[in-house]
A and B are shown apart, each in its own frame.
Chain A
Amino acid sequence: MEILPYGENGLRLVFGKEVSLAVHEQVRKAYLSLKALSLPGIICIIPSFTSCLVVFDGARITFGALADLLREKKEEMAAEWKAPRLHEVPVSYGREYGPDMDSVCAYLGLTAEEVVECHTSVVYTVFAVGFLPGFPYLGPLDKKLFVPRLDAPRVKVPEGSVAIAQLQTGIYPFDSPGGWRIIGKTHLRLFDAERPPYSLFVMGDQVRFVSV
């Protein structure tokens, strides 16, 4: 675990350089532990693929003091947590729901059935929630499905779109611009600002797609 400063009010807890489930598990443990500890001066924790960004109140604690405190809590931050939740996400693949399915098939030399089979055969991990409220960064994706991002991002990706890019897959919670390739659509609502807990997914959850 590396502790690095970022700006005046940021402290990065970095657990590795490469994206992996092992690194993710360390990030998840640190995130859940720090949340439970609710240490004074910490404003929020943003967990992602390889790190936790701890945002602190500089008027209450200095970077140095917080770094010392976190080093002290190192063992608590490696505590075991209960197994993550598993979500089943129904997806309509291809046709009008997945406008990039044909180009993805052409790029990979696979049929649509093979893409669906491959995409639904893995239990994915939510590595991070961000970019948009409730957007799950899911992975790892089977290498057989590796496609580059679109050269020019779409101005509007419809809400519920299930998309892939490089070794990731994700679901758009809102209509928004986006550069990933859309292969399907779910009717599940991923984010509701008026109903706690607001986001269907939290970092660490697991997801299985089911073709409907």
Chain B
Amino acid sequence: MAAAIEVVHPGWLSLVVDAGRTGYADIGVPLSSALDGLGLAVLNRLLENSDDAPALEVFGIGFSLAFSADTTAAITGARVSAFLDGAAVEPWATFHAKAGSLLRVAGVAEGFRYYVGFAGSMELPRIMGSFSTNLECMFGGFRGRPLVKGDRIGIAEARKVEHKAVSESHLPDMRPPHALRILDGPEKDWLTDDSFNKFCDIEKNLRYAVSAKSNRSGIRLEGESLAFREGAAGSIVSEGILPGTVQVPPDGRPIIILFERTMGGYARAGAVASADLDRLAHLKPKDGVLFERVTPDEALRLNTARRGFISSLYKTIGG
């Protein structure tokens, strides 16, 4: 029988993602990429897939799928307790699923979103160069929608890959509270100095909580509202926006923009340092969030250190 996976339970939300739909931001098409880019990249390395291969991005417990043929698979991202026909599955490592076996995620120990991939090619069309699902406009991924029970995706060229695992010491920290480093944004000066300084003074330990109203487009934060200077307009002439931007609408409640928007009309107070972008995938409702202001030079250093960490992580899996 041809290799395929069948969704038995989609968890709270599961969808097909890849490294992103690049090149169309000028016609309003966002990246819709995997929120944890490192989780996806490592998954593809473990499985010896190409960097632009798709995977399933899932959150919530209960996610379950059945394998129709022998398949090598892996789970990265959030640390989950997963079982293959009752046997525990190692996190951030490959495992071999026999035809007819059932994978089930029983709990999430750390982090929020996890990535499930297979050695081989998921039989899905590339739409505008990408496998990612644009949920809002319902295109890409699996028929432009989240996966539901009974969905079946063929795995072409399914391969058996030797066992590979990321060493325990290299698993990224995803535990709350999440300390996010931010650079000043273009409209930072629209806020009062007092308000902005307090917002990103990590010593003051002023925490925000992730709102339950957050989604794949943006993370809404609850906590002390930011204050605009007198005379500062609450909104800007709509302009291009980068993932990780901290937007502040007129009500003063910050929103971290993710990968589903190319333009925005609210004040851009800050931008999350690229070294911390993958972390955003693991901010779940009620988690504490703290901000720390960094200079562009510090952000570059953090990014260099991050790249060093990633290459040493790849070495642990022989990549």
Q: Measuring CB to CB, which residues of chain A are less than 8 angstroms from any residue of chain B?
A: 4-10, 12, 17, 19, 31, 35, 43-53, 55, 58, 63, 128-135, 137, 173-174, 176, 191, 193-194, 197-199, 201-203
Contact A58/B28 with A6-B268, A43-B22 known, Cβ cut-off 8 Å: no
Question: Does the CB pair A49–B237 fall under 8 Å?
Answer: yes
Task: Tally B residues with Cβ within 8 Å of A.
Answer: 39
Cα A5 to Cα B185 with chains together (Å):
9
Residues in B neighbouring A134, C-beta threshold 8 A: 27-28
Known: A51-B240, A176-B136. A5 touches B24 (CB 8 A): no
Choose the segment among B42-50, B284-292, B295-303 that binds chain A (4+ C-beta atoms closer than 8 Å). B295-303
Indicate if B244 sits at the interface (CB-CB under 8 A).
Answer: yes
Cα-based distance from A194 to B126 in the complex (angstroms) = 9
| Shortest beta-carbon distance from B238 to chain A in Å | 6
Chain B hits for A4, CB < 8 A: 186
Contact between A130 and B186 (Cβ–Cβ < 8 Å)? no
| Seed contacts A12-B186, A53-B240, A173-B137; 4 additional CB < 8 Å A-B pairs | A8-B271, A49-B237, A174-B138, A203-B26
Smallest CB separation, B303 vs chain A (Å): 7
Task: Evaluate contact between A129 and B26: CB separation under 8 angstroms.
Answer: yes
Inter-chain contact B127/A193, CB cutoff 8 Å = yes
Residue of B28, B127, B185 most packed against chain A (CB within 10 A): B28
CB <8 Å contact, B239 and A53: yes
Work out how many contacts link A and B, with CB atoms closer than 8 A.
130
Q: Is B64 an interface residue (CB 8 A)?
A: no
- Which 3 pairs from chain A and chain B are nearest by CB? A53-B240, A46-B240, A130-B263
8 Å CB contact of A19 from B136, B237, B261: B237
Q: Which residues of B contact A201 (CB under 8 A)?
A: 27
Contacts A45-B26, A132-B136, A133-B27 given; does A8 touch B240 at CB 8 Å: no
Q: Is the CB of A135 within 8 A of B28?
A: yes
A183 to B186, CA, bound (A): 35
Q: Check B238–A8 contact: CB distance below 8 A.
A: no
B-side contacts of A17, CB under 8 Å: 237
B136 touches A50 (CB 8 A): no
The answer to whether A193 touches B239 (Cβ under 8 A) is no
Q: Is B211 an interface residue (CB 8 A)?
A: no
Distance between B23 CB and nearest chain A CB, rounded to angstroms: 6
Residues of A within 8 A of B25 (CB): 44-46, 55
Identify the closest chain A residue to B182 (Cβ).
A7
15 A-B pairs whose Cβ atoms sit less than 8 Å apart in the complex: A4-B186, A6-B185, A7-B183, A7-B245, A12-B240, A45-B25, A46-B25, A58-B300, A63-B296, A129-B26, A129-B27, A130-B240, A132-B137, A174-B136, A176-B136
> For residue B245, which residues in chain A have a CB less than 8 angstroms away from its CB?
7
Q: Is B26 a contact of A44 with CB atoms below 8 Å?
A: yes
Q: Are A5 and B296 in contact (CB under 8 A)?
A: yes
- Given A8-B183, A134-B28, A174 and B137 contact (CB-CB distance below 8 Å): yes
CB pair A48 B28 closer than 8 Å: no
Beta-carbon contact of B26 and A46 below 8 Å? yes
B238's partner among A6, A12, A49, A176 (CB-CB below 8 A) is A49
Contact bitstring B148-163, A, C-beta under 8 A = 1, else 0: 0000000000000000
Give the complex CA separation of A81 and B25 in angstroms. 21
What are the interface flags for B173-200 relative to A under an 8 Å C-beta threshold, 1 for contact and 0 otherwise? 0000000000101100000000000000
Q: Give A135's nearest chain B residue, CB to CB.
A: B28
CB within 8 A of B139: which of A5, A44, A46, A193? A193
CB proximity of B3 to chain A, nearest CB, Å: 26
Tell me the bound Cα distance from A25 to B125 in angstroms. 38
Within the assembled complex, what's the spacing in Å between the Cα atoms of A128 and B22? 18
CB-CB under 8 A from A191, the residues of chain B are 27, 137
Q: How far is the CA of A198 from the CA of B134 in the complex (A)?
A: 14
A51 & B23 in contact (Cβ 8 Å cutoff): no
Residues of chain A within 8 A of B238, CB atoms compared: 48-49, 128, 130-131, 137
For A49, give its contact among B138, B239, B268, B271 (CB under 8 Å).
B239
> Is B137 a contact partner of A48 (Cβ separation < 8 A)?
no
B271 (CB) vs chain A CBs: closest residue: A7
Residues of B within 8 A of A45 (CB): 25-26
Q: A4-B186, A51-B239, A53-B239 are in contact. Are A129 and B296 (CB under 8 A)?
A: no
Tell me, yes or no, whether B227 is within 8 Å of chain A by CB: no
Is the beta-carbon distance between B128 and A193 smaller than 8 angstroms? Answer: yes
Q: Is B103 an interface residue (CB 8 A)?
A: no
